Amino acid sequence: MCPPPPSAQGETLAVASLADEIAYRLRADILDGRLPFGARLQHEELAARFGVSRTPIREALRQLQALNLVELAPNRGATVRTPSRAELVEVYELRAEMEGFACALACDRASTEDLDHLERTQERLTAAVTSAGRVDDAELDAAVTEANTAFHDLIHQAAANRRLTESIQALQSVFPRDSVWRVIAHDETAMTTMNVTEHQAISAALRARTPEAARKVMRDHVRAAGEILLAHLDDQRFWG
């Protein structure tokens, strides 16, 4: 069994969905190395830590299972599961190339309405980023994750290649990609660079219908995200 971090006892939950908040906090514990690979997550201990019933605990653990951070097994409960560093490097190498290719395809295949929708989505993401410091971390994480996911999904849809989209989604499911935003949530410059400046460059390349430029800016964007995440996990001795 793995006891909760000492500072976590008696935590107060701030957002409407208890399960979402609990999943966010447990994900933070995993990514920051406080819950290492193989740690057992006991329902009773988590319910006591967060002062809730077992129902939101079960839902939070299911969310973490969907992110490939937790394994749920009959009669064994929940166990922290994470990929190796080599796996994560491979994921980001492939994602960078495939998402760059999708962006190049979208240059030729996206409609004007698609690009307008993309820019409106980016406005929502920019608003979420500028709310940092005025909302709690879980609320910021949810807002940035929703808008960022929508931005990338719109490009994949505009690429109009179902197999490519499915392959990208499979890679994204290996590790929660939006963990990157949590890592830099308190660095205003990094948040603005990654979520605003780089996204605006992607939108501009798509609007200009320049496939090679679009491929490059998207590839560099995904590579940079992977480098930030890996550096953070290395600093936290995430791999043991």
64 and 92 share a domain? no
Distances (CA, A) of 110 to 101, 106, 119, 131: 14, 5, 13, 30
Residue 3 has pLDDT above 70, yes or no: no
Q: Is residue 213 part of a domain?
A: yes
Supply the pLDDT for residue 15.
43
201-205 long-range Cβ contacts below 8 angstroms, 24+ apart: 202/103, 202/155, 203/115, 203/118, 203/119, 203/122, 205/103, 205/107
**CATH number of residue 27's parent domain:** 1.10.10.10
Same domain, 76 and 139: no
Q: How confident is residue 46, by pLDDT bands cut at 50, 70 and 90? A: very high
pLDDT tens string 187-217:
889 989 999 999 999 999 999 999 999 999 9
Which of the four pLDDT bands, split at 50, 70 and 90, describes residue 8?
very low
User: Residues 120, 148: one domain?
Assistant: yes
Identify the three-state secondary structure at position 236: coil
Task: Name the token pair of 58.
Answer: 């079960």
Percent residues over pLDDT 90 in the chain: 55
Do 157 and 111 lie in one domain? The reply is: yes
Q: Are residues 146 and 29 in the same domain?
A: no
Which of 80, 107, 134 represents a domain boundary (last residue)? Answer: 80
Are residues 107 and 73 located together in one domain of the fold? Answer: no
CATH of the domain at 170: 1.20.120.530
Same domain, 108 and 178: yes
Checking if the pLDDT of 44 tops 80, the result is yes
Percent of the chain with pLDDT over 70: 93
User: Do residue 60 and residue 90 come from a single domain?
Assistant: no
98 and 161 together in one domain: yes
Question: Do the domain assignments include residue 240?
Answer: no
How much is the average pLDDT of 87-100?
96
Of the residues 80, 100, 118, the one at which a domain ends: 80
Mean pLDDT within 148-159: 97
Domain count of the fold of the chain: 2
Residue 237 to residue 118: CA distance in whole angstroms: 37
Same domain, 90 and 69: no
Assess whether 210 and 98 both reside in one domain: yes
Residues 89 and 69 in one domain: no
What is the average pLDDT value for the chain, to the nearest integer? 87
Region 1-26 average pLDDT: 62
Boundary (domain end) residue, out of 25, 46, 80: 80
H-only helix segments in the chain = 18-31, 43-50, 54-66, 85-109, 112-130, 137-159, 162-172, 179-183, 188-192, 198-208, 211-235
- The whole domain housing 125 covers 85-235
